[in-house]
A and B are shown apart, each in its own frame.
Chain A
């Protein structure tokens, strides 16, 4: 799934010339979508063969409105092309969760192809799929009816620009740390022990299903061992023959048994991870590794002590890294830019603080950063945790990576602000230090937490539109919110603001209600016993992960267009009610006309109001108030079917663009169709006092009540990073971010294309800083010729 963390125009095709030949070949092979007929990780359908079979769950894709029109076609083609998996007579008498584990095991033992690519050291190729839900006829009927209820409501919300929601797979960190420590054999023992004391039939079925999944894993990886042996027998090159023999040995060992070397641990994690994605059916987005530089470090250290060279470790890591990119394979041959968009978000988290606040950066952290930079592929997505005690050499290293404009974008998470939010959420204080983000930047606990981090995406700016149209969508006239009165008659800001709050409350309620339906369908009809093994709590509770079995369960509401909303409310307050430059009836008329014929009104609303993102206390106070109100209201709500509590966050993915046409003109001067604000950031171009003011505004929001965390993007020109002195300045800014800013930051280094866009649409880029003689200047305020000069200069760099 495409996950927009604010990356703009990032090139992913940079040729890496320092790669070992083996890695270079594997990397080139991955990118050869058109030639690679012998292997593609495209979704394989697996069906029970029942005519009512369900492979496709629309609610999994509820947050991808761009493919809503294709749902029916995808469902049909998956069913039509599905492999029929033979099941025993007794199959239909089993409880649903057991049917799922049996089916999963059958697919692993007999159907999922085991293929090893030339020269690779880490194996495990095919995992994209669409697996039968194993529903019987009555269940299938119930499923379809329940899903339709969600779908009918979801379409209205999307069509009116309110937002979208679904029960989205992935977006969690399976307990790979434990899987490495005890292996699936260890898990199987624990489940058996649990079974011995569990009297409840339903829970026993769940545990038996989980056990069955564990036991299928070595059967599957043995098929890889056999394939390696087959290839070895035919291999002429002695060195490769030895590698294949080693692969066979490792595949017979892990992940059933705990790995004992670094190489074994990477193979164990890859199998465990690819099956986690496989188990939820394609695509398992946002299935993240957590703090991989921490839990793999003991084996890394051991292997180094036993003689593993840095080069060997680097090559193994590169082989491991490349595998993750195959999650995209279905997109390889479609669409622009080879169809690859910005990411699945298999996040790896590096560095960060320990229990006492000291830093945990180690040798493996730094090696992984080297690998990320050298291999320069989109997956797995790198995330670095920074905090007040981050070592200077790490921060400098990160600054250096950012300065290479077209390298892999590194997402930065900030521990202090992130941990404040998780503490607010009620997570145990002694464990906060070991959090890690999933997907893009959504904060969670490792191995025990499903926080539904992108299940709900709510367009906050819609509340402004409804306030100005008595609760109805302006484009369609459809009633969405309550009647809050004729906006032209509001004679005080308080009245306007009360109406706005009522509309926002109503929007939150209506979208939460919709997602609760999806949560219900999934909890009742979709069991994932394999994934339940890997998430603490499911075994202890005897409940599937989709039933809310994890130790921690949330549904996250991601607020979209926060900056647009704040600026709009601030503009009404200042321009209409405090300074009286525009009357309320004039504003309402202008909004309804999309400001056509009301340019003067638009300019006043845009230019005469305080702006969020400029360190303006007035605007920032409103921002804090608006944030507090909706996030606290969300947190008060619990999904009745699974007990999942709602929580807030700000990851606006690509919806700040997608919902722009569905959001009427706003009182901040924005016309329908102009982009909404992205993440927790200010409206495009409105952070006119530069990045430090922008950072301080975000810091003042009071993000702890949005414990998911918030996406914040800052753009700088490559010229600001032209030499080591300036890279150090950027690194210093990151250190200050830990003290002053929000939970997560992406620094965008702008390329010439962006500068050209800025030239064409100066309004949206008024904040863009470039460096000129002896000082920084705002790009759009420069004369045309000098802009051209700067573009030409940037084009010559990198």
Chain B
């Protein structure tokens, strides 16, 4: 197995992925396929070719250099035949306008550590650090373990942002190595979980309970998806689970659905079933927040776009 990981973004000055100012590393590849996924480019483990219509100047350099003829230029711009495209990157290199990007680049743990260390001063003053996210970072768990130990060796605070869907032998050591875990609990209904994410709920709950047993510092997050996870019953159930099982949880984020990722789906040639779904009203988020608080979840925070700004 390669020492390197495929990473689709290293985001500096992350202020939404854990305490303080952080650098978030998004590892590519995820065993889940949540129907609302807001980072669809994180699902496939392989590099992918993305075309940005707004940047394209129509010079067709990409079409000319493609060794397998996967690109065609038409009325609606560049079309990528994803069954033949190997994401070799020749088109991206030839494009003068940076309108084609290969999403997903290989990083060695050394190089990634050097990159995240650049903002050490900002982590120090803010109590921040590194967040390892995805995709599902534990899909590349050997890399993750190596990277965590390098970060810890350099004195950095590490947060692991995970779906919790991983074997105990993978999840537990990684959670143990990190300083804190950001864990998604999407729905407490096993059938719905399987339907909406493509994977069973039970391994996720096992991971969550394991965090509870070790009293690891945890933030739980639930995406509030209309018609999927947004019922009072579901939020209450998640909150109750937190109260009963995860004593180390000191914050519960409820994240209102956003359709911000619709353009990414288009660029990847994927369908997005929530394209036309409106944002959740703030009033509704406040009701859910009250549900969660009643059920005993600590420090409930609404994080994200709604149709009204909180005061």
Q: Interface residues, chain A, CB within 8 Å of chain B?
A: 581, 599-601, 603-604, 607-608, 615, 689-693, 696, 720, 722, 726, 728-729, 732-733, 735-736, 739-740, 762, 769, 771-777, 781-783, 785-786, 789-790, 793, 796-797
Contact = CB atoms under 8 A, between A and B. Distances in A.
Given A692-B122, A782-B263, A786-B258, A796 B309 contact: yes
A603 B57 contact: yes
Most chain B Cβ neighbours within 10 Å, of A773, A776, A796: A773
Contact of B121 (A739, A771, A783): A739
Contact of B305 (A600, A729, A773): A773
A187 to B, nearest CB: 45
A773 B57 contact: no
Contacts of A773: 38, 223, 255-258, 260, 303-305
A736 B124 contact: yes
What 3 pairs across the A-B complex have the smallest Cβ distances? A732-B126, A773-B304, A603-B96
Contacts of B221: 774
Contacts of B259: 785-786
Contacts of B253: 774
B220 interface: no
A769 B12 CA distance: 11
Most chain B Cβ neighbours within 10 Å, of A729, A762, A777, A783: A729
B279 interface: yes
Contact of A732 (B122, B309, B310): B122
A733 B128 CA distance: 11
Given A607-B98, A736-B122, A776-B13, A692 B21 contact: yes
B12 A690 contact: yes
Contacts of A722: 310
A790 B305 contact: yes
Contact of B16 (A604, A740, A776, A796): A776
Nearest to B97: A603
Given A783-B263, A793-B309, A774 B303 contact: yes
Nearest to A729: B15
Contacts of B54: 762
Given A600-B61, A693-B118, A774-B304, 11 more contacts: A600-B59, A690-B11, A722-B310, A729-B15, A729-B20, A732-B122, A732-B128, A771-B15, A773-B257, A773-B304, A783-B262
B308 A729 contact: no
B118 A696 contact: yes
**Chain A: interface secondary structure?**
helix
Contacts of A729: 15, 20-21, 126, 128
B15 A726 contact: yes
A600 B96 contact: yes
A651 B256 CA distance: 43
A783 B260 contact: yes
Contacts of A789: 279, 305
A793 B59 CA distance: 38
A772 B119 contact: no
B125 A772 contact: no
A271 B197 CA distance: 73
Contacts of B121: 736, 739-740
Interface of B: 11-17, 20-21, 24, 38, 54, 57, 59, 61, 96-98, 118-119, 121-122, 124-128, 221, 223, 253, 255-260, 262-263, 279, 303-305, 308-310
Nearest to A798: B309
A220 B34 CA distance: 79
B304 A776 contact: no
Contacts of A733: 13, 21, 122, 125-126
Contacts of A696: 118-119
Contacts of B279: 789
Nearest to B278: A789
B13 A736 contact: no
Contacts, number: 124
A775 B12 contact: no
A392 to B, nearest CB: 10
A712 to B, nearest CB: 16
Contacts of B124: 736
Contacts of B119: 692, 696
A610 B178 CA distance: 34
B228 to A, nearest CB: 15
B260 A690 contact: no
Contacts of A732: 20-21, 122, 125-128
Most chain A Cβ neighbours within 10 Å, of B12, B24, B96, B305: B96
A603 B124 CA distance: 39
Contacts of B122: 692, 732-733, 736, 740
Nearest to B182: A774
Contact of B17 (A692, A693, A735, A775): A775
16 contacts: A607-B97, A608-B98, A615-B118, A692-B118, A732-B126, A735-B125, A736-B21, A736-B122, A736-B125, A772-B260, A774-B16, A774-B17, A775-B24, A776-B14, A783-B263, A789-B279
A739 B309 CA distance: 35
A736 B38 contact: no
A101 to B, nearest CB: 53
A608 B122 CA distance: 29
A720 B128 CA distance: 16
Nearest to A726: B15
A793 B260 contact: no
Contacts of B308: 796
Nearest to A691: B13
A785 B259 CA distance: 9
Nearest to B257: A773
Nearest to A599: B57
Contact of A782 (B14, B15, B255, B260): B260
Contacts of B263: 781-783
B260 A786 contact: yes
Contacts of B97: 603, 607
Nearest to B133: A775
B14 A775 contact: yes
